[in-house]
Structure 1
Amino acid sequence: MDPVTHGLIGATASQSFAKKETLRAAAFTGFVSATLADLDVFLFSTTDPLLNLELHRQFTHSLIFIPIGALFATALIWWFVKKHLTLKQTYFFSLAGYATAGMADYLTSYGVHLLWPFVDERYSLNIISVFDPLFTLGIIVCTGIAFWKRDKLFSRIALGWVVLYLIFGFSQKQKAINIAEEMATQNDQSIDRIDVKPTIANQLVWSVRYENQDTLHAYGIRLFPFSDPIIYEGETAPLLDWRNEFNSFNGTILYKDIERFSKLSNGFLIKHPGHENVIGDARYSMLPTTLSPLWGIEIDTTRPDQHVDFGTYRDASPEIRQTFMDMLFGRKLR
């Protein structure tokens, strides 16, 4: 989730427990503490590009790290709020704010290591985009009024907005899954695995990827309340059998890096259609109907004992943007 929304959710959570005289300081504490977990983006290696991907949303977002993260937040924030809050209050509001960080990212895609270090698995609900302006706007309005009037009633209204919006997202996702299952049945296919998530900045157009017999199928589904769904049929591509293709490199750094990237991509690996020697994460593309990954690793078999390069491959051309807007407004694609 974007840093601003992270902070606003943290501020809302802290405000909800504050008294009128401490509400503003509590909001500030919650806002800052909720954003600290994402400082893990600065943990990287100049020689190992995948390390940053592995550490992002890892220990700083785990449930067991919440009290420790709140402690760091308290040490940072207390010097700014000590005229308004005691050290104990500062820790309490930092705890409330920091606790929202991992849970907020859990609602989006890509996944969070909530149970690190006990379980090495990423969890995600995929019910809201990492950036959703309507969701954020509702929190800004309610939390802003609460801050201005020093009235935590509006903080609780903000929490109500968050819950209702997420329930709507969960409902939309279930509808998309049901439609995908119906499409697979109509095509005499079984679904071996499925990945469903909202597209960027909205809850109306959903991205569907499902696997059938080692082939990935992509669809876009527009779900507008009280209207019939619109299905945009997309591309298909074979999933990469990387273990077989790169078996001769087993034991090398190259092989281990492909294995690491496969784990980060939940096994949805394909060859990038527009970039030779690039293996991409097939779950993410500019359009829900295309299988041109937004990021991937470049394979150089002449350097098996060196780490792979990681790159991004975004195409925000006018044609791509227009196609996305056509989907968003339920138009026929050109």
Structure 2
Amino acid sequence: MDPLTHALLGATAAQVALGPRLGRQAWLLGAVGGVLPDADIVIRSSADPLLAIQYHRHFTHALAFIPVGGIVAALPWLARQAHRPNWRPIVAATTIGYATHAVLDACTNYGTHLLWPFSPLRVAWNWITTIGPLLTLMLLVGLVFAVRRGARLPAAVALLLSVAYVGTAAWQRERALEMQVRIAAARGHPLDRAEMFPTVGNPLLWRSVYQSGETLYTDRLRVVSRAATRWKEGSTVDLLLEKDLPPPALADERVRRDYARFSYFSAGWVARASADPSVIGDARYSLRTDGFEPIWGVRFHPGTATPTEWVDRTIKNRVPISELWRELTGTAAGYMAVPLARN
């Protein structure tokens, strides 16, 4: 999630738990704890372009690391003699803020090492995107009223509304997955693997991606009432496996290793970009809805000193507000009724 939302969630949770004891200091402690796990962005190397994605949302985001992170976040206060007698609630506030971070990140589709060091699983519940204006606004309003009034109730209400919003998104995703099964069945496609990814800032529009054979099929779903739910046919792209790499790449041990790292990061959703096949991209995300243009990916140069190039097109990722609004309101062209379920 974006840093502002992480700070607000950590601050709001700390305000609810320790506001009466720490006063207006509680929210600041929680905010620091809420953003600290993303300090892992400093882990990077020019000689290893994949190091950054390997360690972002890694050990600093693990549930087992929360007590350590909470103490580290509290150090600026504990370094001052005046705060040391009150160290227990201070550490509690920063720890509460720290604990909210990884759980919120797991609600997105990026992947978070919640279970490190006990499991290498990247947990991604795929309920919300990393930018959620409504969620951020609810937390901001609740926190401002709570701090100004010196009360916990507004912050508690904001937390409850936030949980309700995320819960609604989780329910919507399950409905979308049901629609996905019907769409694949209508096409005569056996589902080898299927996933549903949220779109920016709403629980109504979903990016459907499923694998049938060695082909990935992507569609758009607008999930509202049963009668009004619609879908728009998207595009297809071939799944890229290690065996599909060209011979020079397969002969380079470093390329094979980096392909495995990138595939792990992308949860196995890997394909070549439609416009530039030299780019191997993360198929969970696309700059376009009518074709696969990855937001990020890799390009391999076998036999060179640094054979892996990180390709980042995040700067080109602009949300077309007018198009998104038409999709949300049901006026966008190309949407059609979801096929009926087979008996």
CA contact (8 A) 2:18 2:89 kept: no
Offset of 1:133 from its aligned partner? 0.4
1:100-115 matches, within 5 Å, as 100-115=100-115
1:89 aligned counterpart, secondary structure? helix
Instruction: Give TM-score, length-normalised by structure 1.
Output: 0.92
2:118 aligned counterpart, secondary structure? coil
CA contact (8 A) 1:21 1:150 kept: no
1:306 aligned counterpart, secondary structure? coil
For 1:184 and 1:251, locate their aligned partners in 2 and report how far apart those are by CA, in whole Å. 38
- Deviation by residue 1:37-83 (Cα, 9 ceiling, x = unmatched): 01111110111010000100000000111011111101024458956
For 1:17 and 1:38, locate their aligned partners in 2 and report how far apart those are by CA, in whole Å. 23
Could you tell me which residue of structure 1 aligns to residue 73 of structure 2? 73
Unpaired segments of 5 or more residues in structure 1? none
CA contact (8 A) 1:15 1:27 kept: yes
Matched letter for residue 297 of structure 2: G
Could you tell me which residue of structure 2 aligns to residue 272 of structure 1? 273
- Deviation by residue 1:238-289 (Cα, 9 ceiling, x = unmatched): 1113234346625611111111101111111111112241100111013445
1:155-234 matches, within 5 Å, as 155-224=155-224, 228-234=228-234
CA contact (8 A) 1:11 1:30 kept: yes
For 2:301 and 2:252, locate their aligned partners in 1 and report how far apart those are by CA, in whole Å. 15
Relative to structure 1, the CA distance from residue 170 to residue 104 in structure 2 (aligned partners, 3 Å threshold; closer, same or farther) is: same
**Identity in percent:** 30
1:259 aligned counterpart, secondary structure? helix
- Deviation by residue 1:77-101 (Cα, 9 ceiling, x = unmatched): 4458956981111101111110111
Relative to structure 1, the CA distance from residue 328 to residue 178 in structure 2 (aligned partners, 3 Å threshold; closer, same or farther) is: same
Could you tell me which residue of structure 2 aligns to residue 255 of structure 1? 256
Matched letter for residue 332 of structure 2: K
Relative to structure 1, the CA distance from residue 285 to residue 80 in structure 2 (aligned partners, 3 Å threshold; closer, same or farther) is: farther
CA contact (8 A) 2:301 2:307 kept: no
Matched letter for residue 150 of structure 1: G
For 1:126 and 1:83, locate their aligned partners in 2 and report how far apart those are by CA, in whole Å. 40
For 1:81 and 1:220, locate their aligned partners in 2 and report how far apart those are by CA, in whole Å. 57
Matched letter for residue 59 of structure 1: F
Offset of 1:17 from its aligned partner? 1.4
1:218 aligned counterpart, secondary structure? strand
For 1:196 and 1:27, locate their aligned partners in 2 and report how far apart those are by CA, in whole Å. 35
Could you tell me which residue of structure 2 aligns to residue 283 of structure 1? 284
Offset of 1:126 from its aligned partner? 0.8
Offset of 1:190 from its aligned partner? 1.4
CA contact (8 A) 1:272 1:279 kept: yes
Relative to structure 1, the CA distance from residue 109 to residue 160 in structure 2 (aligned partners, 3 Å threshold; closer, same or farther) is: same
Unpaired segments of 5 or more residues in structure 2? 335-343
Instruction: Give TM-score, length-normalised by structure 2.
Output: 0.90
Matched letter for residue 311 of structure 1: V
Offset of 1:301 from its aligned partner? 2.9
2:97 aligned counterpart, secondary structure? helix
CA contact (8 A) 1:108 1:125 kept: yes
- Deviation by residue 1:277-314 (Cα, 9 ceiling, x = unmatched): 110011101344532111110122343x5340101235
CA contact (8 A) 1:220 1:289 kept: no
For 2:287 and 2:224, locate their aligned partners in 1 and report how far apart those are by CA, in whole Å. 21
Could you tell me which residue of structure 2 aligns to residue 96 of structure 1? 96
- Deviation by residue 1:216-248 (Cα, 9 ceiling, x = unmatched): 000111123576112111000111132343466
For 1:85 and 1:230, locate their aligned partners in 2 and report how far apart those are by CA, in whole Å. 60
Give the number of aligned pairs. 332
Matched letter for residue 170 of structure 1: A
Could you tell me which residue of structure 1 aligns to residue 338 of structure 2? none
For 2:194 and 2:26, locate their aligned partners in 1 and report how far apart those are by CA, in whole Å. 41
CA contact (8 A) 1:13 1:97 kept: yes
1:224 aligned counterpart, secondary structure? coil
CA contact (8 A) 1:74 1:90 kept: yes
1:130 aligned counterpart, secondary structure? coil
CA contact (8 A) 2:263 2:269 kept: yes
CA contact (8 A) 1:277 1:300 kept: no
Matched letter for residue 94 of structure 1: T
CA contact (8 A) 2:223 2:230 kept: yes
Question: Root-mean-square deviation (CA), in Å?
Answer: 2.2
Offset of 1:176 from its aligned partner? 0.7
For 1:11 and 1:317, locate their aligned partners in 2 and report how far apart those are by CA, in whole Å. 29
CA contact (8 A) 1:285 1:294 kept: yes
Could you tell me which residue of structure 1 aligns to residue 146 of structure 2? 146
Could you tell me which residue of structure 2 aligns to residue 293 of structure 1? 294
Relative to structure 1, the CA distance from residue 55 to residue 317 in structure 2 (aligned partners, 3 Å threshold; closer, same or farther) is: closer
Matched letter for residue 327 of structure 2: M
